[in-house]
Structure 1
Amino acid sequence: MFFLCVNLPFLVFQEMLKDVVRTKTYQNVIYRNKFLFQNKVVLDVGAGTGILSLFCAKAGAAHVYANYLIVTVVTVLKGKIEEIELPVAKVDIIISEWMGYFLLFENMLNTVLYARDKWLVDDRVVLPDEASLYLTAIEDAEYKDDKIEFWNNVYGFDMSCIKKQAMMEPLVDTVDQKQIVTNCHLLKTMDISKMVPGDASFTTPFKLITVRDDYIHAFVAYFNVSFTKCHKLMGFSTGPRSRATHWKQTVLYLEDVLTICEGETIIGSMTVAPNKKNPRDVDIMVKYSLSGRRCVVSRVQFYKMR
């Protein structure tokens, strides 16, 4: 196995390791599917603490290249994947936790795709091999008032000019499932074994159907991850109805407060693209409209994940 380290604060590493959903899912995928790993050469992209590398070694991988560990089947290999050379021509498996907040913020997807095209054998076993991005909507009056409307009166001063900037910054936080007021819509599914780097930029339509009379203050995005090469389909969700992960959910506050009645439909589209100056950042554009009994609105909003 080849181990590629990323430099992050130790508290970040600890947070990821304590994310039981994330860590136990990878552990179960590896230990319950040892047929994928036994006597195989595996490339761990962005390995951090090396926990995935250790799981693979214990599952019977032929060799491990890691930058913090030197044991029987582990060797040091450190550097950017685009700059290093592996001591073998091909690897059998690529494993990575490449996902970022909102799936694509500060992600390592392009690094995984680079490694896949350069070193992976033709049958292309990438773990995980599928990721799906979803959208829903929530009532969130209390938090929006605290985060956004706060700028209307700051100790007696009108700082509302800051509101627009605050509105453009998505909030990464854990959403209470009781706040959800629409269905969940699948925005995008990525097949990591087949996609190319440009596929991380996309425009996709969505339709959200309200499930009760209420208000909408924000859209919420989250993602699911799947390991389809296992004996049995495995994976996890970062959605608000699932056990919390360190990715949490991404909240996109709306300039409007939408007054909704049960069964009404919000239609729109979302455009996602890496920022041109910093590809690890994400630019998001959301178009949405509602023609309801109590509310009629049509708007375009822009968000920047920095």
Structure 2
Amino acid sequence: MVQIVLDVGCGIGLLSILCAQAGASKVYAIDASNIAREAKHVVKANNLSDIITVLHGRVEDLQLSEKVDVIISNWMGYMLLQESMLGSVIIARDRWLKPGGLMLPSYATLYLAPVTTNKHRDITDFWRNVEGIDMSAIIPAAKTHAFQEPIVEKVSSENVLAGPCMVKYININRVGIDELESISTEFRFSFMKSASLSGFALWFDVEFNGNLLSPFPIRCRFPFSSADGVPAFGNQRQQTTNLNEALVMSTGPEDPQTHWKQTLLYYLHPKEIEKGQQIEGILTLSKNYRPARSIWIDIQYTLDGRNYFGYNTVMK
């Protein structure tokens, strides 16, 4: 069966080449940036110009002469949605995907959990003694500078203070652009141990629906997880090598590190919490247009229903 593939945001063309090597009869590789010029050279160097057509331009402005069987894209940004190309992927889906066609990835899930880290202490310790000089007067300004925006870094699973909640589950086969303008979810956590609450961590999974792949199989090169495994933290998946099952790539704290790591929302002043203490509130993620592709983050919560706290920032 002929399989025509569209790669949205192809970059230097790696995914397009993998699709051609896996048996795709035709690949359209689209990128709006000048990297598309380099992708053409890479495709030619791999003798795949007869299969892969590189198109330089925005999805919104281009035209294809035919519908496609599969749309692939590495659209995910930090915290899943920051600087992501999902809007362009949705437009490509609605314009060019055949009925019953395949989206890869097929689903995405964003998670939130409270965390504790040594970040505040490390900043304090550093400025208290800089080459024998007491610079502690700079500590408040240093913390403000360090924590005024979300930080992308790896956090250990041991630093997660409660099982995560699901912020958003996205069916990429059906989601509309307007659904992503603003995402709001209520959360409630019970702390698993006494610690200093440093803030919150966000991470995501993306799922590849393996049941629809025949006769265009994925040759998995990365550590995916099974959608049917016993979940760690209550929602993560165990690894699988069965390509008849859906495959999941996770960026969670307990999984192998990816370049996405986790997104940390640090509070300026940590809060001491006790094991069993309850925290509940609302997280809102809204599309921000200045700067473009940024996200406005707002968290409002209470501890044990008494003390009220608020936090908001922009992830650029």
Q: TM-score, normalised by structure 2?
A: 0.77
* 1:127-167 deviation per Cα after TM superposition (whole angstroms, max 9, x unaligned): 10111010111111x31234589789993655735754543
Alignment length (residue pairs): 264
* 1:225-284 deviation per Cα after TM superposition (whole angstroms, max 9, x unaligned): 111243311011101011110100001012442222222221011100111323411110
Distance of 1:148 and 1:206 partners within structure 2: 31
Q: Is the 8 A contact 2:109 2:168 kept in 1?
A: yes
Question: Which residue number corresponds to residue 244 of structure 1?
Answer: 257
Matched, 1:213 2:194: yes
**Match of 2:312, as an amino acid?**
F
**Match of 2:209, as an amino acid?**
T
Pairs within 5 Å for 1:119-198: 119-140=96-117, 142-147=118-123, 155=135, 157-158=137-138, 160=140, 163-164=143-144, 166-198=146-178
Q: Which runs of 5+ in 2 are unaligned?
A: 30-38, 212-243
Out of 51, 59, 80, which is 1:81 matched to? 59
Question: Which residue number corresponds to residue 225 of structure 2?
Answer: none
Question: Which residue number corresponds to residue 53 of structure 1?
Answer: 16
Matched, 1:117 2:94: yes
Three-state SS of the structure 2 residue aligned to 1:76 is strand
* 1:181-219 deviation per Cα after TM superposition (whole angstroms, max 9, x unaligned): 211111110111111112222111111121112221111
Q: Is the 8 A contact 2:123 2:139 kept in 1?
A: no
Distance of 1:285 and 1:302 partners within structure 2: 4
Tell me the CA shift for residue 121 of structure 1: 1.4
Q: TM-score, normalised by structure 1?
A: 0.79
Q: Is the 8 A contact 1:95 1:127 kept in 2?
A: yes
Q: Is the 8 A contact 2:123 2:142 kept in 1?
A: no
Distance of 1:148 and 1:198 partners within structure 2: 43
Q: Is the 8 A contact 2:194 2:275 kept in 1?
A: yes
Three-state SS of the structure 1 residue aligned to 2:111 is strand
Question: Which residue number corresponds to residue 105 of structure 1?
Answer: 82
What value does the CA root-mean-square deviation take over the aligned residues?
2.4
Out of 29, 40, 63, which is 2:3 matched to? 40
- How high is the sequence identity, in percent, across the aligned residues? 35
Q: Which runs of 5+ in 1 are unaligned?
A: 1-37
Three-state SS of the structure 1 residue aligned to 2:179 is helix
Q: Is the 8 A contact 1:39 1:60 kept in 2?
A: no
Distance of 2:100 and 2:124 partners within structure 1: 49
